[in-house]
Every structure is written in structure tokens, then in C-alpha cells.
Structure 1
Amino acid sequence: MPDEELVERFVRSSGPGGQNVNKVATAVELRFDIANSPSLTEPVRARLLAKRDRRLTDEGVLVLSAQRFRTQDRNREDARERLAAFIASGLKAPKKRIATKPSRAAKKRRLDEKRGRSTIKASRGARRTWDE
């Protein structure tokens, strides 16, 4: 990804960390506009936008937040690695499913099992006479 397409914003992290968290903006918010990116091909763009990901906005912008580490550099690397993984997941096209039919033997097995169940259930309802 070209750096011109990425928008980085540094904010204060949440969670534990005491004074460091309160005064240093180490968390990274990385934005990447998938819908208008010239570096993505049309099929890849369509696959990425079709994902039902909560990090995607309605305008097609992916927003990644990284605050796992104490330093800005590590959080920036983490966000970029996650962006690369997200884009890599859209690069591979899903395989087309080939419709198949069950074999004759599989049909026979299924029908034999159905017949067996049927006889078991039919025998449960047989009335008994206690006159004998």
C-alpha cells in the first residue's frame, strides 16, 4: 500500500498504564479507503467490501485501531500488519462449488436405513392382546 492512501492518527490509549497512558498518544488509528483506492483491483475491492466486518464504515473505509504496545512505532507496525492481513484475505478468490449427486450405493444405503427405522417405529405401535 502506498503511504499516501493511509491516514494515521495518534490518540491516547485506554486501559492500564498510569501516567504514561495519560500523557503519551501511543495508540494508532489507521484509515484506509478501500472503495476509492487506485491500488486495488476491482475484484479484490468487491471482495473486501462484501465482508461483513465491523471495522468497515458505510463509505468503504477500513478503520484499524492498534494500542497493544507501549510505543507509537510498534502500534503503527501492528496496524499496518493487520491491514496487510485484511487485504491478503481478499486477494484469493473463493473456489466455485461443483454440484455433485449422491451415488447409487449412497441412495440405496439411505433408503435401507429409512426402511429399518420405519419397521422399528411401526413395531412400537402394535397393539397387544392380553387375553392369551
Structure 2
Amino acid sequence: MAITPSLALDDAELSFTYILASGPGGQNVNKVATAAQLRFDAANSPSLPERVRTRLLTLAGSRATRDGVIVITARNYRTQQQNREDATQRLAELIRQAAHKQAYRVPTRPSKGARQRRLDGKSRRSSIKQGRSKKFDD
């Protein structure tokens, strides 16, 4: 399963179990296990770089177990196949977020002209406000 151009997961790393689901399906929902539960062992996955692995487990939050296994339960659809695809798409999106490298801000300073323009604006505003005050002539 391709996640990004440089990152892919082997389908053998994903394990699915099917459980009874609430929600749409009528009486069928009580008889057929349509909800898909995806388990992915992120802590021991050879496909993930260390940087992505640590960020993925952080982003997963309560979906990750103490052992580093990510559990995603999909129960939005009426069929096992659709729920299975939904769970894999959600995992792929989570890994994409973890693989995204954040751009670091390069600290800059305002130029001399920008500082001067800011101070000029402040003094202009100050003179406008001073002009509004009442002047008493004795």
C-alpha cells in the first residue's frame, strides 16, 4: 500500500478482524460482523523511518496501545469491504500526516525602513488623538 512517493507499507503488516457494529444495516447489523478493526504494529514496522514512527504514535493518541499497535475501527458502512477500505484510508492519512516534514521558521528582523514607518505611523496617530483633546484658554 503506497502512502507517499517514498513510503509504502506491506499488506502483511496490517491485520483485520471483523466485529458486530451498531449503526446502519437494519436487522442485518445484528447477524453479520461488518465493522472492520485494523491493527498496525507501528513500533515494530520495518517500513517506517524512526522519525515517522515516533510522530505517528504521538498523532495516534488513544488509538495506539502501550505496545505501539495502532487500532482503527471502521463502522461507517454496511459492508465489510467498505469498512476495510475506510480503515486503510484512515491509517494512510494518519501516516501521511506523520511523514509530513514541518517547515521551520527562519527568524528575521524588521528592516530599518520598516521600523521608521512604524514609528512615523504611531506619532501620526498620537498627534491625531492629541488634537481631539479639549484645550483650555485662560
TM-score (norm 2): 0.76
**Alignment match, 1:46:** 54
**Counterpart check, 1:129 vs 2:129:** no
Q: Provide the rounded CA distance (Å) in 2 between the counterparts of 1:74 and 1:105.
A: 60
2:112 maps to 104
Distance 1:58 1:113, change over 3 A: farther
Match in the other structure for 1:33: 41
Assess, with a 3 A threshold, how the Cα gap between structure 1 residues 66 and 110 changes in structure 2: closer, same or farther: same
Q: Is the 8 A contact 2:74 2:86 kept in 1?
A: yes
Partner residue of 1:88? Answer: 96
The structure 1 segments of at least 4 consecutive aligned residues displaced by more than 4 Å after TM superposition are none
Q: Following the alignment from structure 1 to structure 2, what is the Cα–Cα distance between the partners of residues 17 and 79?
A: 18
For 1:111 and 1:50, the matched residues in 2 are separated by: 45
Q: Structure 2: 5+ residue runs without aligned partners?
A: 1-8
Residue of structure 2 equivalent to 1:24: 32
- For residues 8-27 of structure 1, the C-alpha deviation after alignment (integer angstroms, 9 at most, x for no partner) is 22111212322011111101
What number of residue pairs does the alignment pair up?
Answer: 130
TM superposition shift of 1:122: 3.3
Let me know the Cα RMSD of the aligned residues. Answer: 2.4
1:111–1:61 Cα change, 3 Å: farther
Percent identity of paired positions between Structure 1 and Structure 2 = 52
Matched residue of 1:51: which SS?
helix
- Segments of 5+ residues of structure 1 without an aligned counterpart are none
State the distance in 1 between where 2:88 and 2:94 align: 10
Cα distance per residue 1:62-91 (max 9 Å; x no partner): 221212221111211121122122212222
Q: What residue in structure 1 maps to residue 15 of structure 2?
A: 7
Using the TM superposition, give the Cα deviation of residue 130 of structure 1 relative to its aligned residue in structure 2, in angstroms. 7.6
Match of 1:68 among 76, 83, 101: 76
